[in-house]
Chains A and B, each alone.
Chain A
Amino acid sequence: MEVSSKYAVQMHGIVKTFGSFCALDHVDLDVKKGTVHALLGENGAGKSTMMNILYGLYQADSGKIYINGNEARIKDPSAAIRHGIGMVHQHFMLVENFTVLQNVILGSEVTNRFGVLNMKKARDKVEKIAEQYGFDVDLDAKIEDISVGMQQRVEILKALYRGVDILILDEPTAVLTPQEISELMDIMKSLVKSGKTIILITHKLKEIQQSSDACTIIRRGKLIDTVKPQEVDEEALAAKMVGHPVRLVVEKTPAKPKGVVLEIDHLCVKDKRGLDAVKDLSLKIHRGEIFGIAGVDGNGQEELVNAITCLSRAESGTIKINGQEIQNTTLQNVIGHKISTIPEDRQRRGLVLNFSCEKNMVLEKYKSSPFSRHGILQDGEIKDYTKKLVGDYDIRPAGCGPMQVRSLSGGNQQKLIIAREISNEPDLLIAVQPTRGLDVGAIEYVHKMLVRERDEGKAVLLISLELDEILSVADTIGVIYDGSINGTFSQDQADEKTIGLLMAGGKQNAVNS
C-alpha cells in the first residue's frame, strides 16, 4: 500500500526473528487516522511483538515504519513517545502508593527553573485532559485504593498527558468487569472522536465487533487479512484467527440431571478482612448438570469456592457432597470426596511453575500407587502417565513431559490442569474462570471438556465473570450478588438482560412481574 499522511501508522514488511523462531514474517499494517484498528490473533501469534516494535521495545530485522506518512526510526520507547505513540500494557506500570496525579506526571513533571515541582500547573493540565475525554478519576486517590478499571484509566491518562496521538492498548479488557469494559469502550469512542488513533490488541471477537473500524488478523507471524469487522461475522473472524472453522456456540444436548451431588445450605463465609462475603447461600447441583454462577467479581465467588475446598471457614450452614457434610474439614478430605477444582489463578494455585509437566501432572497423586512406592517416586510410571494425558488432551508440545511447565503457553498450562483434574474422575468438578486469558481455540476446547464431563454424569460448577460463557455453557444459571444467589434459571429461560439486572443487584420478582 502506498505511503500517505492519511495513515497514522504504516508498518510495511516487518520481519522479526528470535533465534531460529520467526515471530513476524513480512507483516503489513496500515492504520487510518482517527480510527480504532484491532490487531487480532491467538496467544503467541505475534501481535504483541508487532506492537512492541512500534513502541521501540524491539527492533525489527527488516521493514519500514511510517508515522503520518513520514518514515520513522523508533529505537526506544522515548523515541516512540516523541512520535506521539503511547502504549498501555496489559500489566500496569504504576506506583502503588503514589496518587493518581503523581503517577500521571511521573517522568515528565512540570517544574520551574530550579527544578521544583509545580503541582498546581500539573494538576490543571491533567484535569483539563480528564475533562476533555470524560474521564471520571479522583486525582488524589492512591493507586492501591482504586479499582483495576480506574488504574487502566490512569494509564491512558498518562499517555494523553504526554501528548500521544496514537494509543496502543494491549489486551485492555482482560482484567475488566463487564461494566468496566463498556466504560472503556465509551472512552475509546471519545478519544477517536477527538482525532486520536487507537490500536487494540485483543483476541476477543465481540469487542472487535463493538469497537473497531478495521481489524488485521495475524496467525503464526503471518499477515492473514485485514477486514471491516462489521462486514464479517464472529465465526468467520475466529476461523481466520485459528486457521480452521470454529464453533463459537457450545454444542450440547439438553441436560439430564440425576441425583444431587453438591448441596449447600444456608452457607455463610467471611472474607480475609473478616467481613461477610457469602451470606445465607443455598444451592444444589445434580449429576449430569452444569451449574453456572454468574456475577460481577467480588460478590462472594472466591469465598464460596474457598469454603467448598475448606480453605476458608464456613461460619454457619452446611456443604454436603453426596449427602456427607464436608465443611470445615481439610482439603485432603475434600479431594478424597471426589471434588476436583480448576482454580482461578492457574499460575498461583494450579501449578508449580518450576516443576516439570510430569511433576505437575501428579501434584495431587504423587504419594499414591503407582506413582510412588514406599515413599520413592516411580519416575517411569509418572512419565508414562503424563505421556498418555498429554496425548489424550492434546497438550503441546507433545514432548513437554520433562520441560518446566513455565515454558508452556497459557492455554496449554490450562489444558494440563484440566487433564489432571478430570483424570481424578471427580463427582464434582469446580471450574473457576477456566477460560480466562485463553484464545478462541482453547476456549472451545475447555467448554467441550466441561460438557463431556457433564455427559459422563459428573456435576460441574462453573464460575465465570464472562456472562456469555455462563449463558452458553451452563444448564442451570444462578446469579450471585452480594454473597447470595438471587435468581436461578434454566438455560432456556435465561436472558441476558434479566441476568444482567440481577448481577447489578436488581430483584428477581421486580424483573419477572
Chain B
Amino acid sequence: MRLTAKILKKPITSALLAIVCGFLVAAIVLAAAHYNPWQAFGALFSGMFARPKYISNVIIKATPIILTGLSVAFAFKTSLFNIGAEGQYIVSAMVVTMLGVKLNLPAVIQIPVLMVAGIAAGGIWGGFVGLLKAKFGIHEVITSIMLNWIAFYLSNYIVNLPAFHQPNSTGTYPINQSGYIVLLPNWKTSPQGIASLEKAPWLKEIMLKTDVNFGFIIALVMAVLIWFLLSRTSKGFELCAVGYNKDAAEFAGINVNKNLFDAMLISGALSGLAGAVAVMGTNPHNISTLAAFENNGFNGLSVAFIAGGSPIGCIFAGLLFGGFLYGGQTVQSEVGAPSEIINIMMGTIVFFMALTKVVQVFADKLAKGSAAHAE
C-alpha cells in the first residue's frame, strides 16, 4: 500500500495515468462512431513505429514542439503564461526565411546568422510582452494573443511580397541551401553516399526518405540547458523566486520587473529557435500563406502541461505529441477514422493532467489508510 502511494505521488505516474485516460476516452469516442478502437490504435502505433522512417519522422515532427513546449514550461516556472509561443514561432520562421532567401553566405556563417536571427525575432516578440507587463502591468495573455495575430498577418504579408513569393505557389522561395541544417545533405545523395548507405538499409531509408537534421539534438541540448538554468544558476533562482512569490522576491532585493522581462525574452527566444529549426531543418524550407494557425506554438502549451512544467519532461511529452500527430495520419488512411481523434486524445490527456492533484490526494489517503492499518 505504501509503495502504491509512493508510486502514485511521482509526477510521471500522473502523466502516464492521464495518457491511459486519453486512450480510454478516444476508444469510447471511436466505438461510438462505429470504428474499432483496437484497429485504430494499432494503426496509430504502426504509423509511429512500423518502419525506421516513421520513427525518424516522429522525431522530426516532435522537434519544434519540444522547443515551444520548453518555451511555455520555462515561462510557467516564472508564473507567466506564454500563450504567445505561436506568434513567436511564426515571426521567427518569417525572419529566417527572409534572410535565408536573400543571404547566401558559407554555411558556417549562414547557419549561425539565421539561427540567431530567428532566436532574436522570437525573443523580441516575447520580450515585448514582458516589457508591457513590467512597465504597465498589462497581462501577458492579452498582449500575447494580439501579437499572435499580428505575427500571423505580418507573415502572410511577407509571403506575398514579390521579393519572396515563389510564382505559382502559396509560399516563398526556399532558403538557400547554405542555411540547411539537414544531416549530410550532399553526401547522402552522392553516388558514394548511396553506395555506403546500401550496407544499412534502415539507415538508407531514414537518410534518404526523411529530413534528418540537427534540430532534435538542439532541442535536447536546450532542454538540458534550461533545466540547468532553472535549477542550478543564480539567474534561475531569481526567476523562480519571482515566479513563486513576487512580494518576497521584491523584499529580498530582487528586481521583479527585470525578471519578468527576462523570462518572456528567454521564453520567446526558445519559440523563435523552434521556428528557425523548422525552416532550416525540414522541407520545404520556406513559409507559406497561413489560412489558420499551424499550432506549433499552441501544441507547445499541451506539451508543457503534459510534462508538468519540467524541461526534461518536455522531451518525452514532445515526442509523444509528435508521435500522435504523425501516427494519426495513418489512422485516417488505414481505418478511415478522422485524424481529429488525435486532438481528442491530446485534449483528454491535458485535461486529466490538470486533475493530477486528485491523484496526489488519493495517494495521501492511501498512505494514511495503510498507516492506520499497520497499527
Residues of chain A at the chain B interface (Cβ within 8 Å):
17-20, 309, 311, 330-332, 334-335, 341, 343, 348-355, 359, 363-364, 366-367, 371-372, 375-377, 379
Contact = CB atoms under 8 A, between A and B. Distances in A.
Q: Is the contact region of chain B dominated by helix, strand, or loop, or is it mixed?
A: helix
Contacts of A363: 241, 248-249, 252
A372 B248 CA distance: 20
Interface stretch (B120-128, B166-174, B230-238, B344-352): B230-238
B310 to A, nearest CB: 15
Interface stretch (B62-70, B105-113, B365-373): B365-373
A349 B234 contact: no
A20 B235 contact: no
Given A19-B367, A363-B248, A355 B241 contact: yes
B244 interface: yes
Interface of B: 232-238, 240-241, 244-245, 247-253, 255, 367-368, 371-372, 374-375
Contact of A366 (B234, B250, B375): B234
Contacts of B255: 332
B249 A352 contact: yes
A348 B248 CA distance: 6
A377 B234 contact: yes
A353 B251 contact: no
Nearest to A372: B234
Nearest to B369: A19
Given A351-B245, A376-B233, A377-B232, A17 B372 contact: yes
Contact of A19 (B236, B253, B371): B371
17 contacts: A19-B368, A20-B371, A20-B375, A309-B251, A311-B251, A331-B250, A332-B253, A343-B251, A348-B245, A349-B247, A352-B241, A354-B244, A359-B237, A366-B237, A376-B232, A377-B233, A377-B234
B245 A376 contact: no
A375 B247 contact: no
Contacts of A349: 247-248, 251
B244 to A, nearest CB: 4
B357 to A, nearest CB: 15
A364 B253 CA distance: 7
Given A331-B253, A363-B241, A375 B248 contact: no
A350 B371 contact: no
A200 B182 CA distance: 74
B253 A335 contact: yes
The 6 A-B residue pairs whose C-beta atoms are closest, nearest first, are A372-B234, A19-B371, A363-B252, A354-B244, A332-B253, A352-B245
Nearest to A22: B375
Contacts of A372: 233-234, 237
Given A331-B250, A332-B253, A355-B240, A367 B234 contact: yes
A355 B375 CA distance: 34
A435 B308 CA distance: 38
A380 B248 CA distance: 24
Nearest to A21: B371
A371 B247 CA distance: 22
A352 B244 contact: yes
Given A19-B372, A343-B251, A371-B234, 5 more contacts: A17-B375, A349-B251, A351-B248, A352-B244, A379-B232
B290 to A, nearest CB: 39
Contacts of B237: 359, 366, 372, 377
Contacts of A353: 244-245
B231 to A, nearest CB: 8
B140 to A, nearest CB: 20
Contacts of B252: 363-364
B205 to A, nearest CB: 43
Contacts of A332: 253, 255
Contacts of B371: 19-20
Contact of B368 (A18, A350, A364, A366): A18
A316 B248 CA distance: 27
Contact of B251 (A350, A366, A377): A350
Contacts of A19: 367-368, 371-372
A376 B247 CA distance: 24
Contacts of B250: 311, 331
A341 B241 contact: no
Contacts of B244: 352-355
A335 B254 CA distance: 11
A348 B234 contact: no
A408 to B, nearest CB: 15
